[in-house]
Structure 1
Amino acid sequence: PGMAQAAIVIERLTKILPGIAPIKPEATRVTQRPIPRDGLSAIGPVPGLDGYYLMVTHSGATLSPALGAMAADEILTGIERQELADFRPARFFT
Structure 2
Amino acid sequence: MELTFGGEIWYWRGPAPWHFVTVPDDESAAIESVAALVTYGWGMIPVAVRIGGSEWQSSLWPKDGGYIVPIKAWVRSAERLEVGDAIEVRLTLGV
- Output the TM-score relative to the length of structure 2: 0.24
Greater helix share, structure number: 1
Structure scoring higher RCO (CA < 8 A, sep ≥ 6) equals: 2
Greater strand share, structure number: 2
- Output the TM-score relative to the length of structure 1: 0.24
